[in-house]
């Protein structure tokens, strides 16, 4: 973890030294807070000389401004502030956070004419700051001077906004969201020698502190349940598999739960169908789905969401070994359906097949959403700007797509259908675990669909978005935490007691 912000909200502030961050609407002469931070109107002269325009995220840095009680003024452009959406406010917060270095206290003035008064905008701005502040430096023993100073102390941030008490209320949820996203990022970033299935399960267990009920199934228990598909993947590794089941009970006991299932392949060599060496180190992120589910459960519990939610993650390592599974093997899944292994690198769907069946069978949820870094083919199709969305239910698919537009974790719906399904029929078993190169993301989804029965279900292929994603104002981390904000928004908008549906 890195720079820590202690964020508070206030109606007004008394400045003495430190950094003042002012937000400027493109149509206003002066930025917000100018009367307090810049009584001598140094801004006007600096803006003229720098030919400053307050277009989105344009910045102007004024050091040691004459007549100001602040040591430094940083003006950030908001464009037309009245038109900003939630994601714009996040980006502004992230851009501001990037400027906070070597300073102990910061006052941020957000009240511009036209800025909405609910407090949501200020809370979103603050969320953007928390998301930007995350960086993974656990294993760097040497830090440069800048980082040393920034990370040793937390920075006191006061956000000055008219409706401070409303902002503060919304922000308690934002903190829950940020900690869930940052947990997911951390799990993806951790190296595979440190984070094996057992260690990951222990991380899930830590959610008990927040009131989540956590069960961890061992290999023996999974064998008793007949999870031959998941166990077949795990058998090539000396590290035993785990299945973690997390339950958050935030609604009435009779309310059907919603369920989230994650692929947690802590490292994927491909197994006997081994991957090429180049880039294989990235396969430490093949547990991005499980990380997102764990981060989401953290967020739902931390903000006391009024929903019953289940998180199930299948944790295995896919290794080549004397005991590894072979192409040609036939395994029997918990559902009773048999699977011919064609390619041992198509292991994620095997792990998920048993996790999905188990979740459906035990909890009878309203819906199941699984997340998985499942196929390289989804990156060929969508790059890393959209995750692939596959679903047997239009309402669920539409709710997910809408949530993705709100959080800017964008989804693109891909097809499913009988003719694709045929491509995974096997000569020797009920199905085979790959359908060939063409349409590889779709046949992977068809495979999963055979384990969900009639339950509304969506599969998110996050291979392009969970890791190595584009770095932007609110994310500087290799592991992006993709999916946590998306699914929190899905629940918030549609599935909490009191939310419209
Ligand atoms: Mn694989
Ligand atoms: Zn994999």
Per-10-residue mean pLDDT, the chain, length 501: 84 95 95 96 96 95 96 96 94 96 95 77 97 96 64 87 95 98 98 98 98 98 98 98 99 97 98 98 98 99 98 99 98 98 98 99 98 98 97 98 98 98 98 96 98 98 93 96 98 84 44
Q: Are 349 and 299 in contact (CB under 8 A)?
A: no
413 CA to centre of own chain: 19
Residue 276 phi, psi dihedral angles, 5° rounding: -65, 155
Q: Is 436 helix (H, G, I), strand (E, B) or coil?
A: coil
Give residue 500's pLDDT: 47
Task: For residue 106, give the 3-state DSSP assignment.
Answer: strand
Q: How far is the CA of 283 from the centre of ligand 2 (A)?
A: 7
- Cα 263 to Cα 210, 267, 369, 421: the distances in Å are 23, 11, 11, 21
pLDDT at 153: 79
Residue 23's closest CA among 154, 124, 166?
A: 124
Ligand 1 centroid, distance to 165 Cα (angstroms):
49
Catalytic annotation, residues: 275, 349
Ligand nearest to the CA of 343: 1
Q: Nearest bound ligand to CA 316?
A: 2
Element (H, E) at 243: strand 242-249
Instruction: Find, among 393, 389, 417, the residue nearest to 403 by Cα.
Output: 389
Separation of 206 CA from ligand 1 center, angstroms? 28
Q: What is the pLDDT of residue 501?
A: 44
The CA dihedral of 176, 500, 394, 294, to the nearest 10 degrees, is 20
Spacing, Cα 162 to ligand 1 middle (Å): 52
Q: What is the pLDDT of residue 112?
A: 84
Instruction: Give the pLDDT of residue 144.
Output: 65
* Helix/strand number for the chain, H first, E second: 16, 17
How close is the Cα of 230 to the center of ligand 2, in Å? Answer: 12
User: What is the whole-number distance in angstroms between the Cα of residue 474 and the centre of ligand 1?
Assistant: 29
Q: Whose atoms come closest to the Cα of 346: which ligand?
A: 1
Positive or negative, the CA dihedral 167, 170, 176, 178 is: negative
**pLDDT at 35 (0 to 100):** 95
Q: Which ligand is nearest to the CA of 287?
A: 2
What pLDDT is recorded for position 264?
99
């Amino acid at each position: 973890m890195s720079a820590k912000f202690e964020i508070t909200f206030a109606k007004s502030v008394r400045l003495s030294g430190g950094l003042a961050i002012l937000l400027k609407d493109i149509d206003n002469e002066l930025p917000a807070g100018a009367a307090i931070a810049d009584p001598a109107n140094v801004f006007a002269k600096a803006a003229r000389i720098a030919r400053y325009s307050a277009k989105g995220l344009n910045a102007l840095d004024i050091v040691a401004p004459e007549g100001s009680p602040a040591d430094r003024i940083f003006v950030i452009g908001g464009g037309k502030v009245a038109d900003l959406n939630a994601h714009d406010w996040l980006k502004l917060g992230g851009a501001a956070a990037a400027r906070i270095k070597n300073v102990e206290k910061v006052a941020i003035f957000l009240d511009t004419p036209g800025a909405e008064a609910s407090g949501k905008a200020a809370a979103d701005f603050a969320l953007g700051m928390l998301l930007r502040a995350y960086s993974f430096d656990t294993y760097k023993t040497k830090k440069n001077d800048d980082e040393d100073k920034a990370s040793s102390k937390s920075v006191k941030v006061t956000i000055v906004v008219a409706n401070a008490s409303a902002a503060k209320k919304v922000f308690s949820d934002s903190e829950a969201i940020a900690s869930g996203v940052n947990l997911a990022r951390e799990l993806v970033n951790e190296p595979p020698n440190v984070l094996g299935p057992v260690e990951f399960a222990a991380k899930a267990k830590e959610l008990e502190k927040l009131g989540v009920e956590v069960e961890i199934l061992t290999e023996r228990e999974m064998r008793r349940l007949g999870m031959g598909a998941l166990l077949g993947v795990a058998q090539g590794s000396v590290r035993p598999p785990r299945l973690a089941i997390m339950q958050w009970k935030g609604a009435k006991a009779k309310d059907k739960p919603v369920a989230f299932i994650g692929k947690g392949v802590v490292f994927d060599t491909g197994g006997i169908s081994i991957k090429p060496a180049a880039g294989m180190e990235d396969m430490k992120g093949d547990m991005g789905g499980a990380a997102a589910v764990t981060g989401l459960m953290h967020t739902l519990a931390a903000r006391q969401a009024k929903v019953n939610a289940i998180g199930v993650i299948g944790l295995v390592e896919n290794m080549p070994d004397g005991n590894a599974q072979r192409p040609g093997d036939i395994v029997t899944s918990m559902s009773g359906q048999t699977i011919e292994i064609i390619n041992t690198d198509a292991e994620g769907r095997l792990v998920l097949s048993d996790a999905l069946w188990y979740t459906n069978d035990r909890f009878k949820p309203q819906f199941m959403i699984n997340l998985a870094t499942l196929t390289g083919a989804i990156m060929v199709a969508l790059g890393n700007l959209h995750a692939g969305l596959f679903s047997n239910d239009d309402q669920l698919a539409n709710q997910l797509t809408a949530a993705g537009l709100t959080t800017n974790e964008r989804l693109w719906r891909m097809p499913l259908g009988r003719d694709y399904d045929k491509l995974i029929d096997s000569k020797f078993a009920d199905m085979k675990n790959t359908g060939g190169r063409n349409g590889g993301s779709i046949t992977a989804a068809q495979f999963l669909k055979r384990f969900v029965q009639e339950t509304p279900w969506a599969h998110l292929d996050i291979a392009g978005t969970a890791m190595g994603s584009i770095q932007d104002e609110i994310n500087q981390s290799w592991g992006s935490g993709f999916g946590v904000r998306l699914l929190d928004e899905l629940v918030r908008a549609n599935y909490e007691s009191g939310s419209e549906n």
